[in-house]
Structure 1
């Protein structure tokens, strides 16, 4: 008998190296992708779940005048002394909300007040809210934002590459292979079923998952957000958001029977009887602040809101150049950035969009798990093959 022939080395193809990179990046980022997918599933129906279990969010519409913003703020201030109110929210059929949010010192409270009677229905510390806690994990991994956000956004960027490389690896070479790779064979053995779940479901949902991942990157990386804006605007730079201020040289009081925020809010309410959307009124904190009123015709999303700014001393409207101004003034690139969050959670397409976002997040969470099972199976198979070759050659 002659000596055994040395094994023939296979040529390292593009698909081979794609597979190796796909494997190692998948192992490196898998746990974070799983975490983002699971928390994304939890957050998909946040609003619907809150509405179902928190009855204090609703107040029956009555044929009575609404209490003005400054009155609601004054009531809420008694419940939260030494806190600064951020905004007062009105929406037909829902309880008014006075929001207290501040970076330093950090706090976030919402006071729910009956907008007709002034009765406080709930004072909620959002730091103790379940969904708020999940959001902080989903955005920052419960770490300081400057640490947690880059970690999770980098994992998201790697996941986008994994989705693209996965499509390259999955793409069938022949017609016969195509017939097998577009369906999950439920009656097959569990290893084959796991393989199909990883590849076939990943293929069908990959484009939705990519949209979710890319919108996450827009929120997580400033350079990526600016790049998307630059491309969608035809080479223009995004105008940075700047706080709008009143003219402090015009501090003489106006001959009004109410504070500026109340007068402006009342004008909008009177101009749109039966309005079903929401008003967010930002009451000036000092003589320099402007009055901001956000009018959103569809509170289930955010992108359509008109953000209006007014000098508190003259009531004159202040025009802004950044994207958080009037919707009618927004460019295509502005609207794309405005839509980003609504696209990310699927709300842009209503309930069907949220259902798709939930399914996509669930499949995204499953892919690291099914991928590791495939890798362990191949590793075991490779070890078994090497053992057989060893016994054969000896």
Structure 2
């Protein structure tokens, strides 16, 4: 029976070993993406707190508009930390890099305007498969279309960082132009388009079988062998050392590698995500966001279909009798609702009926994107709808845990360090395994030559 499992382990490893090594290496690089990004560009994220109060968001908005006159501001993020900059999310030009990025945000189920760098990997990225994270952020159709409540025209553009005390623009982040986007694209096979993503997904499935068969092959036949399977014999020859590095370290890292591979399937296969919601008996689609009550005398031009946009033949939209709330007023309202939040992410409406979405993160949140959300009427500021993280359905909460588990950020720095070590070990296993296979082939050939000579 072990010969059967050894053959499965060997041939699957030979087919997918190179892909697995690349995925493990890039995954290790992405573990500390957030920390490295902020260390390389501290001016974007950190400022010296001033004794004077922060400037109004309206003044910061004007500074961003002066810096990017043609861009549309889709959202902003204000941190409670006085040493953090204010982050403005901009819409990109249709068909340009921003448009592509918007597609990636949609695939991750991330709210448009969310800053990928401040949330870590994507996506990576994160993130980054069709409808993969409908349970997170705005999700699904809404994130793709801008929804009733936000977005902006023309795709996702850069994030602009502004000093809240001086209104000076301190930096700009175009995620698609960064080193980490390249690593994420390699990690998920996006460099090869849909075929590349499929190859990575299939290789990940193979990796699960490789780990399973590896545990079967590791399992000692007697108690005397257990000690040998749990300790690396550093004093042995290079063949024995290579053997132990593969067998012993493979056993210690098997569980985490299995977890990383299993959660990684969520970014490769839509059926896997549907399975999460099916198993948890939860709806995958999120309801449309609420709409704002149009003031008297306002006539809104709305497209006939969600995909359509108003044409030049549409009637002119009448000016509302009451102005929409300013970002400062929304922030005041958000602070009343969640006074102890780590940050306040405001997603602005894209039309006259849209609502303002405010996402807040509690200091004791389960993970970085375990946010509470509230929708406000853009004219009156009244709460139209609210949902805490605990009120998300089970499928959304389970799916939301995949990213922090996959990236190793679930327990902060300790789990990230362990994840980095395990990922680096994952790079070595295809190499040590191949060496073991070549040594066996060489040994078998020598044995055949001896038998031939004896005959």
TM bracket (short chain): 0.7 to 0.9
Deviation, structure 1 residue 159? 0.7
Q: Give the equivalent residue in structure 2 for 1:312.
A: 378
Mapped pair 1:49 → 2:49: no
Mapped pair 1:100 → 2:97: no
Deviation, structure 1 residue 177? 1.3
1:119 and 1:196 map into 2 onto residues whose CA distance is 57
1:66 and 1:241 map into 2 onto residues whose CA distance is 36
Q: 1:81 to 1:151 in 2, by over 3 A?
A: farther
Deviation, structure 1 residue 195? 1.1
Q: 1:86 to 1:33 in 2, by over 3 A?
A: farther
Is the Cα–Cα contact under 8 Å of residues 27 and 423 in structure 2 kept in the other structure? yes
Q: Secondary structure at the match of 1:348?
A: coil
Mapped pair 1:28 → 2:15: yes
Q: Give the equivalent residue in structure 2 for 1:76.
A: 64
Q: 1:119 to 1:356 in 2, by over 3 A?
A: same
Is the Cα–Cα contact under 8 Å of residues 291 and 354 in structure 2 kept in the other structure? yes
Q: Give the equivalent residue in structure 2 for 1:240.
A: 285
Deviation, structure 1 residue 272? 4.9
Work out which of the residue numbers 169, 176, 186 in structure 1 matches 2:234.
Answer: 186
Q: Which moved more, 1:303-312 or 1:72-81?
A: 72-81
Q: Which moved more, 1:72-81 or 1:279-288?
A: 72-81
Deviation, structure 1 residue 304? 2.1
Q: Give the equivalent residue in structure 2 for 1:120.
A: 169
Deviation, structure 1 residue 220? 2.2
Deviation, structure 1 residue 69? 4.5
Is the Cα–Cα contact under 8 Å of residues 263 and 405 in structure 2 kept in the other structure? yes
2:337 and 2:55 map into 1 onto residues whose CA distance is 17
Is the Cα–Cα contact under 8 Å of residues 141 and 152 in structure 1 kept in the other structure? no
Runs of 4+ residues deviating >6 angstroms: none
Compute the TM-score of the two structures, normalised by the length of structure 2: 0.75
Work out which of the residue numbers 289, 293, 308 in structure 1 matches 2:354.
Answer: 289
Gaps of 5+ in 1: 1-13
The count of residues paired between Structure 1 and Structure 2 equals 370
Q: Which moved more, 1:360-369 or 1:306-315?
A: 306-315
**Bigger Cα Rg:** 1
Q: Give the equivalent residue in structure 1 for 2:398.
A: 336
Q: Residue deviations 1:196-223, cap 9 Å, x none?
A: 1111111111111111111111232221
Q: 1:48 to 1:250 in 2, by over 3 A?
A: same
Gaps of 5+ in 2: 99-156, 299-319
Q: Secondary structure at the match of 1:62?
A: coil
2:390 and 2:366 map into 1 onto residues whose CA distance is 20
Q: Which moved more, 1:151-160 or 1:239-248?
A: 239-248
Deviation, structure 1 residue 85? 2.9
Q: Give the equivalent residue in structure 1 for 2:181.
A: 132
Compute the TM-score of the two structures, normalised by the length of structure 1: 0.86
Q: Residue deviations 1:298-343, cap 9 Å, x none?
A: 58943421122223244343448xxxx5213124433221111111
1:61 and 1:345 map into 2 onto residues whose CA distance is 31
Q: What's the C-alpha RMSD, in Å, of the aligned pairs? A: 2.5
Q: 1:387 to 1:240 in 2, by over 3 A?
A: same
Is the Cα–Cα contact under 8 Å of residues 58 and 326 in structure 2 kept in the other structure? no
Is the Cα–Cα contact under 8 Å of residues 307 and 326 in structure 1 kept in the other structure? yes
Q: Give the equivalent residue in structure 1 for 2:112.
A: none
Q: 1:71 to 1:151 in 2, by over 3 A?
A: farther
